[in-house]
A and B are shown apart, each in its own frame.
Chain A
């Protein structure tokens, strides 16, 4: 039978076929090509190995970085929060004991695990990638099968370099057309999630296809795959193409010389066959897509930025109605309010969804020559120390600082508020991150998920805004057409 991309990658990693039917039928055992590790979901896994006297099987396929818990200010000083400091120190001790490569705070390759892997060229097409973090789906942008796992599975991969995985179903997300200026990858994925719901992808691997996806850069594809988990999907991926190869070429761990040619030959086979069938297909029209924004407390509760806050009565399903009522109350919003009238307090530009060079460039292009709304606090947190360095080399730090934004060190930061970067109760944030759950960015904090350009325009006007709402900048700052 003609295979989809995801099925091809799966089949290429089967160490042992499952036992088939029966009460104790074992699922397929898959080999894992790359295991990414960070401080939060690994300590109990390392401890498990230690207690069982098991070695970590493949340190050469494992890499660790510090991201979730790290401060984005004063990184040269000891971490003030003692539990955070202990957790980071535990990772350092564990990596040393088990021989795992670690990029620590202060290292030029430190950063959010899903920014670091691709940047080093460690994420490649056709690989299986796992990490104790749900946003591992990011790496699917390269045509890899990349999944978030829990700590027990982290320990399992450490001990065996494999995982037993239940079979998945396949869903094609076809995005045809051309995005209008000011509309970006983030809007595509927010629209997809609003369409299929937070559980719509459950049990599926999503493959993003179509002319609008092919036209996207690698960083934009990463933004889309990153949020596959927000639709409940096991993973999300995009078939590799010349855009993928151009991004990878010359990166530290990319194949070189004859190896590069062999790799490309293999990567060219990594596409869904024309006659392969997906279990489900979903279509999205890129031509008519507008900037998208969430109004509620799960990523499926989103609308076009030009729309109004919906009413619970708009939802037929009783559970959705109740969820909408609760969300409006938590968010402090009235049904019928134009989204663009919503005033925000904080703008967060960062997270594994939108903290790469293109994201920073796109936001900088909007704010350059413009003035920040005086009541807005804006945090810019590059995804990795390398991104921060590159941005500084381009002078982006100066653009942000001149605008009045805070230019921070790399990490997950306010996406989940494990470090001091948190919202106050009731504080409203336009955030380029991936989750608008209650309390996600700080207890009582209210999150609206947006793209980098919407975040930037919002910082200028003080209310949720699209770049097209802005007056022309004094020194014509043209909108970047490849905005991520």
Chain B
């Protein structure tokens, strides 16, 4: 995973709550078996509307998405994170993220930064008044800067550390393989196994 320390880019105000993962990437795009190449799928239904924010300059070149509360609700599809990344987004700001989306973001190096809704509103206004305004998201100091707005954000310490270091989760866990093996030896025999298969 690529390290994330700080990012500055064009902010995109998405004034909408409950942006679910079916909107971020509709299910028809989930048939692909690759992990990349989803840029066309991002907000595919909404992008058919010429008035949609990503169809307007300079927002189409945005890399910091500033969204309403409850971003990423619904399906567990990690494709939502892949699509945001493939389009060029490095970070999403919201006052509340769905748990699975936030987890998926952390695994893929997309920074999901949780800000107070009041700060989101201030940034929205700034980005709407001066389209193209850059937003800086600094993971080291956990702050967002946009013109003269400086706002703190929340992210759990472990995800922050992994993002800063660009660490591979599986590699980290496998350092504790002995613990896993020891635990496996204690698993009660009445607990089920899928193999050998038993059928009705």
Contacts and interface: CB of A to CB of B under 8 A. Distances in A.
B103 A153 contact: yes
Contacts of A476: none
B157 A149 contact: no
B149 interface: no
Interface string A221-263: 0000000011010100000000000000001111100011011
Nearest to A89: B33
Interface stretch (A155-163, A269-277, A352-360, A402-410): A155-163
Contacts of A152: 78, 104, 107-108, 169
Contact of B194 (A52, A63, A262): A63
A45 to B, nearest CB: 9
A59 to B, nearest CB: 6
A84 B29 CA distance: 10
A183 B34 CA distance: 44
Contacts of B73: 198-199, 232, 298
Interface residues of B, number: 65
Interface in A433-451: 435, 437-440, 443
Interface in B110-135: none
Contacts of B200: 108-109, 119-120, 251-252, 386
Contact of A52 (B31, B77, B158, B170): B170
Nearest to B36: A44
Interface string B16-40: 1110101100111011111100000
Nearest to A301: B18
A43 B31 CA distance: 10
B170 A90 contact: no
B158 A34 contact: no
B184 A260 contact: no
B94 to A, nearest CB: 10
Contacts of B170: 52, 54, 155-156, 159-160
Contacts of B191: 33, 124, 127
B38 to A, nearest CB: 11
A109 B197 CA distance: 11
Nearest to A390: B200
Contacts of A426: none
B69 A29 contact: no
Contact of A29 (B100, B160, B179): B179
Contacts of A386: 200
B45 A439 contact: yes
Contact of A15 (B34, B79, B96, B176): B176
B74 A61 contact: no
A128 to B, nearest CB: 10
Nearest to B168: A52
A132 interface: yes
Interface of A: 15-16, 22-27, 29, 31, 33-34, 40-41, 43-44, 47, 52, 54, 57, 59-63, 68-69, 81, 83-84, 86-87, 90, 101, 108-109, 119-122, 124, 127, 132-134, 148-153, 155-156, 159-162, 164, 166, 198-199, 202-203, 229-230, 232, 234, 251-255, 259-260, 262-263, 266, 297-298, 319-320, 322-323, 326, 386, 416-418, 435, 437-440, 443
Q: Which 6 A-B pairs have the closest CB atoms?
A: A152-B107, A150-B104, A150-B78, A43-B33, A252-B198, A24-B161
